[in-house]
Amino acid sequence: MEVRAFAEQILCSESLDEKLKPASGDFTDGSPGDSVDVREPARSDDLKFAPRRMAASMPRPGAFKDVARRATAHHIFANHELQALEVMARVALLFPDAPTEFRIGLCKIMQDEQRHTRMHAERAAMLGVEFGSLPVNSYIWKKSLEFKSVLDYIATLPLVFEGCNLDHTLEFATFFEAVGDDRSAALMKVIHRDEIEHVAFGMEWLRKLKPAGQSDWDAFCEHLEWPLRPVKAKGEVFQVEARLAAGMSAEFVARLEQEVDSGM
């Protein structure tokens, strides 16, 4: 399947089933076409982005004994995964001149995002909340509207959002385990393992695309748009080993671990 056709399927389909439909065959990139700047993805009415501050908030860990609150958490995660999928599709259309190897690798990760969206949506439904029954935010998508280069994408999505998820996935796994929801905990651990590969993809391409002689850390920081900054790339319990497994250098991991939120 052509990279462009796969990206268009995801961005232009209102149907969730179409957005999550797996690609047919191996990916090719023979017809990347012209750059297209998609400002908003097509979505069904029940999944259109809600006005600011209208979307459901992530429940606090102490609320996870309530089945409905756990379902809400999965609903929110499903929307996060769907936005990541749509952002990746947007990048494929916005930067047709990016290396073919990058674009095909991106599509393979998009297939993981399809699966993650489906996993969370199905688990939310099992717990009593259908995906689309709660308002959803557009935070991740809106960050993509600021991208001016592939490096902007790499710093933002693989290295901040997915990097932070190296921590969040295991944090939420413990929240689910604490209330006996082993199925939800197992789901989070599966996604954690995938996120290691996604962050590794980001680190690989950060190194390939940054200027020669520039450090990984400086390239990462240079391509973050405020209010994103390195401290946003980590959760409460910092997973050192996961980051090393994702190809971050010990120096990069140490600098990230030392980052504090100045609030500036």
**Half-sphere exposure of residue 224, counting CA atoms within 13 Å on the CB side?**
21
Picking from 147, 133, 8, the residue whose alpha carbon sits closest to that of residue 79 is: 133
The residues pairing with 2 across neighbouring beta strands, listed in sequence order, are 28
Mind listing the pLDDT tens digit for each residue in 150-178? 999 999 999 999 999 999 999 999 999 99
Please name each of the domains of the chain with its CATH number.
3-31+63-258 (1.20.910)
pLDDT of residue 117: 98
The enclosing H or E element of 168 equals helix 162-178
Tell whether the model's pLDDT for residue 13 goes beyond 80: yes
Burial 118-139 (b: 16+ CB within 10 A, else e): bbbbebbbebebebbebbbbbe
23: left (phi over 0), alpha (psi -120 to 50) or beta: beta
H-type helices in 46-99, by residue range?
Answer: 67-94
> Would you tell me how many other CB atoms lie within 10 Å of the CB of residue 49?
19
Mind listing the pLDDT tens digit for each residue in 73-95? 999 999 999 999 999 999 999 99
Tell whether the model's pLDDT for residue 53 goes beyond 90: no
Query: Helix, strand or coil for residue 132?
Result: coil
pLDDT of residue 182: 98
Backbone angles phi and psi of 136, in degrees to 5: -125, 150
